[in-house]
Amino acid sequence: MKRPQAQVAVLQAADAQEDRRIDDVASEADLQPQAAARAAFELEADGLVAVSEETVAHYELTEEGDRYVRESLPEQDLYAAAMDAGAGDGPVQMGQVIGASGLEGGAVDIALSNYARKGYGEIDSGEITADPDVSPGQDPEMLALEAVADGRVDDAEEAALDQLERRGLVEVHEETIRSVVLTDDGVTALMEGVEVAETVDQLTPELLTSGEWDEVEFTEYNVEADAEDAPHGKEHILRQTANRVKDTLVGMGFQEMEGPHVDAQFWINDCLFMPQDHPARTHWDQFALEQPDEIGDLPEELVDRVRSAHKEGVGPDGEGYHSPWEEDVARGLDLRGHTTSLSMRYLSGEEVGELEPPERYFSVEKVYRNDTLDPTHLLEFFQIEGWVMAEDLSVRDLMGTFTEFYEQFGITDLEFKPHYNPYTEPSFELFGTHPETGEIVEVGNSGIFRDEVLEPLGVDCDVMAWGLSLERLLMLIYGFEDIRDVHGTLCDLELLRETEVMH
């Protein structure tokens, strides 16, 4: 007969006359106890052995039990104090007895309840008596406690042990002991000879056709074996960071904007008071669309107001650019060079209707610029756009908002530099320090929108706004030096896999 190795070992170690503990069989056969038990059950299923089980209780003193066995039970202390105070002859004041017993806190309650339960005496309206015939030295619970302590549990009374367990003075652990004994069939099999079956790890057509599969043992799956690491997809760290930025801004009370990646120059430039014939207009070198080359519709009244702002300016002393303004140019389609186009759409009331201050909006979206590629510039990047509409905003509010926002990413060394934008006054650029190189890195641009922007949009309170770079934020948090490691075809996959984004 051919049998798996563990079964052969158990069969050979088992006895026909007496039960042997499986654990002993296992150590003799050099098997793990679980492997020996499994083999024994398999042999039992084939009638070659019988397995029996018995449960053994192990008693152990708890910390409290251990203390009492070394000293005494609280009720024994109370009894001794009561006897000393003469409670054996009649009721004595309880307070006096407790004071003399040395019992404190919870021990008093324990002593009182067990005293009464054990009939050491009576406790009634503030008085205590002691039964002089009791001999607390023979307290069955104390004797049982001592038996457990000395490893003589068999000497202890069952009821006393139960009581100790209830009082939390001993803990009981149950152990199941399995034993195995050979059956007649097992004895016969051994006499006829049992061999270890060959183990195979793969079922082959040969094994099947020869019928040998019935003779061999199949190796088991080892689910704990080391396996090769299979790199799997995960969310890009930029996307993870974008989500963190969104959560942060939502936490600061902002709502999210969305809108087209390709948009009319009207929304990208004209609403922002960028003169059509001015170099500022192309200062990011936006990518223009050939097909389609024009937006379908623009809000006509807003177009008129924007045209007038460009030509004549706003307000009684307004100054416009005094240069041509063509609606055709405004209708031209570009890949947006900033998401301030979304801010214009929202502020104009086009997206979610007229807005009443205070309002806060943001987006974390891609923008496209015809930049020269270098370690800090790509043709596209994610802009963290945002604005706050409220009465009476100042530069302090702007700086306070940035400080609060960047602090959540551990960046506390922001610097501000005055700047020029055609659409904001004042304007500020923001800088942070690169954690690896120590260089000052520009992280964003901001300002308070000019009247020439707000008036045509129909907004008559203050709006402060910004565009920050998500990639630069990532650089400051994680110390990347080249943005091309993170983005695009040259990205460093290892770095992307291993970087853990904080949440």
Interface contacts to ligand PHE, rule CB under 6 A: 338, 340, 421, 424, 445-447, 465-467
CB 337 to ligand PHE: min, Å:
7
CB 363 to ligand PHE: min, Å:
11
CB 445 to ligand PHE: min, Å:
4
Q: 16 φ, ψ to 5°? A: -85, -25
Structure tokens at 272: 């922002």
481: which DSSP letter? S
CB 395 to ligand PHE: min, Å:
13
Residue closest to ligand PHE when measured from CB atoms: 467
Identify which of residues 74 and 467 has a Cβ nearer to ligand PHE in the complex: 467
Identify which of residues 114 and 424 has a Cβ nearer to ligand PHE in the complex: 424
Prior bond of 292 cis (ω within 30°): yes
Non-local (6+) Cβ contacts of 434 within 8 A are 440, 441, 475, 476, 479, 481
Identify which of residues 20 and 338 has a Cβ nearer to ligand PHE in the complex: 338
Identify which of residues 65 and 467 has a Cβ nearer to ligand PHE in the complex: 467
- Selection from 191, 177, 185, 179 nearest residue 25 by Cα: 179
CB 227 to ligand PHE: min, Å:
48
d(C-alpha 425, C-alpha 279), whole Å: 19
Cα first-last separation, the chain: 61
For every residue of 65-83, which 3-state class applies, written as one string? Answer: HHHHHHCCCHHHHHHHHHH
Identify which of residues 36 and 314 has a Cβ nearer to ligand PHE in the complex: 314
Identify which of residues 179 and 340 has a Cβ nearer to ligand PHE in the complex: 340
DSSP state string for 268-328: HTGGGT--TTSGGGGTT-PPBPSSS-B-S---HHHHHHHHHHHHH-SSTT-----S---HH
CB 409 to ligand PHE: min, Å:
19
Instruction: Look at the alpha carbons of 207, 210, 214, 216 in this order and tell me if their dihedral is positive or negative.
Output: negative
CB 283 to ligand PHE: min, Å:
10
Identify which of residues 107 and 242 has a Cβ nearer to ligand PHE in the complex: 242
- Selection from 328, 27, 412 nearest residue 35 by Cα: 27
Identify which of residues 188 and 394 has a Cβ nearer to ligand PHE in the complex: 394
Sheet with strand 462-469: strands edge to edge: 255-256, 359-368, 380-390, 462-469, 440-449, 424-433, 415-421
CB 234 to ligand PHE: min, Å:
30
